[in-house]
Amino acid sequence: MAGINPKAIYTIAKKEFMDNIRNKWIIVMTIIFIILAIASSYLAGRQAGGGEIFGGMEDTVVALMSIYTLLIPLIAILLGFSTIAGEAETGALYVVLSYPVKRVEVLLGKFLGLGSALAVTPLIGFGLSGVVIAATVGAEEGVAFLAFIALAIILGLMYLSLIICISALCKTRVRAIAGGIILFFWAMIYGMIVMAIYYATGGDFMKLMTGEGTYPDWLWSSVVFSPGDLNQMAVMQAFGLKQAMGISIEAPDWMSMNLLLVVQLVWIIVPLILAYFFFKRRDI
Amino acid sequence: MITKTIMCPHCKNKVTIQGNPGEKTYIICPKCNTKGVFTFPEEKSELKTTTTSFTIEVDGLTKIYKDVTAVNDLSFNIRTGEIFGLLGPNGAGKTTAIKAILSLIHVNSGKIKINGFDIKKDGIEARKSVGYLPERVAFYDNLTPLQTLNFFCELRGDDKSVAKPLISEVGLEEAIDRKVGTFSKGMVQLLGVAQVMIGNPPVYILDEPMAGLDARWVKTIREKIKMLNEQGATVLFSSHILTEVENLCDRVAIIDKGKLIAEDTVANLNKYLKIKPRLEISIPGLNGKIPEEIKGLKGVEAVDAKDDTLFVTCESSVRSRVIATLEEAGLKIDNIKTIEPSLEEAFVKLISQDKGGA
């Protein structure tokens, strides 16, 4: 976009990072991630038998699969819900916007700064456990594990973009957190809706579990409306997994990693554009 | 209001008197009873009124929130180098007007310029010259005051080396390593004052800067505002503390229900509102009794007495007749003070007139 000052974006991003990296939620979640990842690896190692204390990287990721898609969105929502609605309420945003900065610069700075603070949790939490696993078990799936960390960050950025959009739309912090709660539960509600439609249209879940049946194409396509499912699909592709929790989930050829990444990028960009639209028109 | 100490030409006794520039006052030396008239000199206000350039221009500003008109066709101009007070009861539209000047809200109609830059078309250029302290100032809980000011220095494109001296200037040096989240309201407000001074902007917009602060902080902020103005800055100052506005501001605009109802100097407001000055006459032995001779005197609006002081509200032209009448009645006058009508009186009269007219 013409006329955007990158220095202003950087300044705001740096401030957001410094302010939020000391946020107690970030610190608590990073510790939880370290414990969870190491515990998951340990449990995976016990389950696999053999002489190793920890399981391999793939086993660890499979064990973490359902938990990280809950915790990462939670961090993003906690970090971002008050960034516009809350700061407009307290008055912090008045001062910033009285300076020679554009609203688009403030918004991008906030996204990048909060995104960087958010990235710290999976980077340290999963990264540290990855180092432990690599040192004890081996780093055969090191690249895939790095991809997992990157995808965890992407998941966070999708939710961050969505919650910033909600924060820009809502007049008060209370409304923004209510929006955040709806967003958080969306993945679960959406999954139930999709499965209900699947049953209603004659789908047989038991056949899917045993590998006798395959998902219809529309069911695969429905994944694009759920950032969490989308992200899980990408992680499974990174590790070449064809099963999750005993359910066969071999994706069709058209659902490539590139497509999954592009759709996730759309989930980041579109809510940010909408956030700008709401923020620009907002009376502070 | 000017305070002067003058010497009695007869007995060399020193007498302290108060009055407005250009005003004539009747003096009686308390020591030797010598009578005289003193004219207060035309002061720096003369210089200021000759300045015709405007730093902030507001023309036909209207802001409607759903079905509430917060500001209705508001126009005023703020001269370069003056302290301009924005006054009004709660909900009058002061903060809305300030937010519109800074382009924090979208207005329904009207034109606003800061230093000649249209706030809509050249918002960035316009805001480069403004330091703003909002009514509800807040910063970032996890940052220290130094980190906070460094951030705003960077945002203005200013040298970060000014942050530390500014923190010392507002008296927060002892809290320099503490998180802002642990600050009291007064400390946050002082940090706001330091923030406003970053880059030494030529224009300051201060929305209720003293609200909710104790006397110590109020004094500090008042002194800062005076200092900034003495350095040549233009100040838009919104407050509900009328005495502060009266003491600080060169001119005031009074708004009510989003409309401008008056804009002038305090003295001129009183003049055209016909609010008369009050004489405080010390008469030993008065004992709270109002002399009969003064009651029916033409031009005297009100008379009151308390202990040995007689309070007479009258037109300036009647003052000498009041003194003469009291002396003819055999009363010994010790001292005379002229109390000019306060902004509060003008404000109350204007608001009640506006309500009556509405």
Identify the DSSP state of A137.
T
Q: Are B234 and B56 within 8 A, CB to CB?
A: yes
Q: Residue A214: helix, strand or coil by DSSP? A: coil
Question: Which of B65, B124, B138 is facing A90, going by the closest CB pair?
Answer: B138
**Which chain B positions have a beta carbon within 8 Å of A114's beta carbon?**
none
Q: Are B289 and B305 within 8 A, CB to CB?
A: yes
Q: Residue A248: helix, strand or coil by DSSP? A: strand
Q: How many contacts (CB atoms, under 8 Å) link A and B?
A: 82
Exposure string over A15-29, b if 16+ CB within 10 A, otherwise e? bbbbbbbbbeebeeb
| Placement of tokens 């970032």 in the chain | B140
DSSP letter for each residue of A87-120: HHHHSHHHHHHTSS--HHHHHHHHHHHHHHHHHH
CA-to-CA distance for B159 and B166, rounded, in angstroms?
12
Residue A5 pLDDT level (bands cut at 50, 70, 90): very high
| CB atoms inside a 10 Å sphere around CB A66 | 12
What is the side-by-side order of every strand in the sheet holding B68-79?
B68-79, B54-65, B109-114, B117-118
Q: Is residue B333 part of a domain?
A: yes
Q: Is residue B47 part of a domain?
A: no
The residue of chain B nearest to residue A97, with distances taken between CA atoms, is: B104
Q: Residue A158: helix, strand or coil by DSSP? A: helix
What is the pTM (predicted TM-score) of this model? 0.80
Residue A246: the pLDDT is 61
The tens digit of pLDDT for each residue in B49-78 reads: 444 589 999 999 999 998 899 999 999 999
Residue A85: the pLDDT is 96
Q: Which domain holds residue B323?
A: 2-42+276-340
CA angle A3, A6, A8 (to 5 degrees): 95
Residues B250 and B157 in one domain: yes
With a CB cutoff of 8 Å and minimum separation 6, the contacts of A52 are: A45, A136, A137
Residues B134 and B220 in one domain: yes
Count: domains in chain B: 2
ipTM of the modeled complex: 0.86
**What is the domain partition of chain A in residue ranges?**
6-281
| CB atoms inside a 10 Å sphere around CB A187 | 21
Closest among B219, B203, B43 to B114, alpha carbons compared? B203
**Which chain B positions have a beta carbon within 8 Å of A94's beta carbon?**
99, 102, 104, 132, 134, 136-137
| Pairing of the two strands B278-282 and B309-314 | antiparallel
Q: Are B336 and B27 within 8 A, CB to CB?
A: yes
Q: Which of B151, B193, B238 to mutate to test the interface with A (most CBs of A within 10 A)?
A: B151
Q: Does A278 touch chain B if contact means CB atoms closer than 8 Å?
A: no
**Residues of chain A numbered 16-35 and touching chain B (CB < 8 Å):** 18-20, 22-23
Q: Which of B68, B122, B124, B150 to mutate to test the interface with A (most CBs of A within 10 A)?
A: B124
Residue B272: the pLDDT is 63
Residue B45: the pLDDT is 41
As averages over each run of 10 residues, the pLDDT of chain B (358 residues) reads 68 72 71 72 47 84 93 94 90 93 95 94 93 92 95 93 92 93 90 92 92 79 89 90 83 90 82 75 89 83 89 84 88 85 73 60
**Which chain A positions have a beta carbon within 8 Å of B125's beta carbon?**
100
Q: Are B264 and B252 within 8 A, CB to CB?
A: yes
Alpha-carbon gap: A115 to the closest alpha carbon of chain B (Å): 17
Question: Which of B132, B142, B143 is facing A95, going by the closest CB pair?
Answer: B132
Alpha-carbon gap: B230 to the closest alpha carbon of chain A (Å): 24
Q: Is residue B355 part of a domain?
A: no
Residues B15 and B95 in one domain: no
CA-to-CA distance for B31 and B51, rounded, in angstroms?
43
Residue A144: the pLDDT is 84
Residues B244 and B134 in one domain: yes
Residues B135 and B71 in one domain: yes
Six-digit token string for B179: 């998180």
Q: Is residue B96 part of a domain?
A: yes
Residue B247 burial by Cβ neighbours in a 10 Å radius (0-12, 13-18, 19+): middle
Residues B15 and B149 in one domain: no
**Cβ–Cβ of A98/B132 closer than 8 Å?**
yes
Q: Is residue B356 part of a domain?
A: no
Q: Which of B271, B286, B302 is the last residue of a domain?
A: B271
Residue B356: the pLDDT is 55
Residues B239 and B285 in one domain: no
What CATH number is associated with residue B242? 3.40.50.300
Alpha-carbon gap: B202 to the closest alpha carbon of chain A (Å): 14
Q: At what angle do helices B185-196 and B215-230 cross, to 10 degrees?
A: 0
Which residues sit opposite B192 in a β-bridge? none
What is the side-by-side order of every strand in the sheet holding B335-339?
B300-306, B309-314, B278-282, B335-339
Q: Are B341 and B269 within 8 A, CB to CB?
A: no
Residues B132 and B85 in one domain: yes
Q: Is residue B48 part of a domain?
A: no
CA-to-CA distance for A245 and A234, rounded, in angstroms?
16
The tens digit of pLDDT for each residue in A243-275 reads: 665 666 677 778 889 999 999 999 999 999 999
The tens digit of pLDDT for each residue in B161-190 reads: 999 999 998 889 999 999 999 999 889 989
Residues B190 and B96 in one domain: yes
**Cβ–Cβ of B155/A18 closer than 8 Å?**
no
Q: SS3 for chain B, per residue?
A: CEEEEEECCCCCCEEEEEECCCCEEEEECCCCCCEEEEECCCCHHHHHHCCCCEEEEEEEEEEEECCEEEEEEEEEEEECCCEEEEECCCCCCHHHHHHHHCCCCCCCEEEEEECCEECCCCHHHHHHCEEEECCCCCCCCCCCHHHHHHHHHHHHCCCHHHHHHHHHHCCCHHHCCCCHHHCCHHHHHHHHHHHHCCCCCCEEEEECCCCCCCHHHHHHHHHHHHHHHHCCCEEEEECCCHHHHHHHCCEEEEEECCEEEEEECHHHHHHHCCCCCEEEEECCCCCCCCCHHHHCCCCEEEEEEECCEEEEEECHHHHHHHHHHHHHCCCCCCEEEEECCCHHHHHHHHHHHHHHHC
Helix (H) or strand (E) holding A247: strand A247-248
Q: Is residue B227 part of a domain?
A: yes
The tens digit of pLDDT for each residue in A184-213 reads: 998 778 888 988 898 888 877 777 777 677
Identify the DSSP state of A225.
G
**Cβ–Cβ of B136/A100 closer than 8 Å?**
no
CA-to-CA distance for B283 and A119, rounded, in angstroms?
80
Q: Does A94 touch chain B if contact means CB atoms closer than 8 Å?
A: yes
Percent of chain A with pLDDT over 90: 46
Q: Residue A283: helix, strand or coil by DSSP? A: coil
Six-digit token string for B156: 């203005």
CA-to-CA distance for A208 and A214, rounded, in angstroms?
6
Percent of chain A with pLDDT over 70: 94
Residues B137 and B250 in one domain: yes
Residues B207 and B331 in one domain: no
Question: Which of A19, A96, A281 is facing B143, going by the closest CB pair?
Answer: A19
Residues B216 and B260 in one domain: yes
CA angle A118, A119, A124 (to 5 degrees): 115
